[in-house]
């Protein structure tokens, strides 16, 4: 009935105006093998893997997909077309191929979305202000 998780890495919540917010620290590698370490807010409202501001995205533009492979995400303001590039994310020592995206129009922002979050076991410990990458132990 209960689940037990063992944290393998924890990060302090970021400072918000009123409340802190969960974030994940990861290393991103572009197709040239160059590395960039980032702490990104967790956002379950974004369907993609990683949303980046335009300036940070340019680091990954070497792996940009052809325009016909770019995605469009739905927002409250309407459809938002995105540029997309391949990258490798290293989280808790594990490598995963991901897509990094930035809006075609506008400056964008940095965050981790559901596509990547759904591949992680992430425990949000609000009272302690920690987000922890975890591994399940025995139990169901």
For residues 54 and 123, what is the distance between their CA atoms, to the nearest angstrom?
29
C-alpha distances (whole Å) from 115 to each of 17, 33, 79 are: 27, 23, 18
- Which of the two residues, 35 and 79, has the higher pLDDT score? 35
Domains of the chain in start order, with CATH, are: 23-119 (2.40.70.10)
Q: How confident is the model over 40-99, as pLDDT tens digits?
A: 999 998 999 999 999 999 999 999 999 999 999 888 878 889 999 999 999 988 999 999
Q: Which of 46, 54, 84 is nearest to 67 (CA)?
A: 84
Contacts of 104 (CB under 8 A, 6+ apart): 70, 80, 81, 82, 83
Q: What are phi and psi of 67, to 5 degrees?
A: -50, -35
List the helix and strand counts (H, then E) for the chain.
2, 10
Q: How confident is the model over 100-135, as pLDDT tens digits?
A: 999 999 899 999 999 999 999 999 999 999 999 998
pTM beyond 0.85, yes or no: yes
């Amino acid at each position: 009935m209960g689940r037990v998780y063992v944290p393998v890495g924890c990060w302090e919540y970021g400072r918000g105006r009123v409340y802190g917010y969960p974030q994940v620290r990861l290393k991103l590698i572009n197709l040239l093998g160059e590395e960039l370490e980032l702490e990104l807010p967790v956002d379950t409202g974004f369907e993609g893997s990683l949303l980046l501001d335009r300036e940070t995205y340019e680091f990954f533009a070497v792996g940009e997909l052809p325009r016909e492979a770019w995605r469009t995400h739905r927002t409250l303001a309407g459809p938002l077309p995105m540029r997309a590039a391949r990258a490798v994310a290293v989280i808790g020592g594990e490598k995963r191929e991901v897509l990094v995206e930035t809006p075609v129009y506008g400056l964008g922002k940095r965050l981790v979305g559901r596509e990547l979050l759904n591949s992680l076991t992430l425990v949000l410990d609000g009272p302690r202000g920690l987000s922890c990458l975890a591994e399940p132990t025995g139990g169901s």
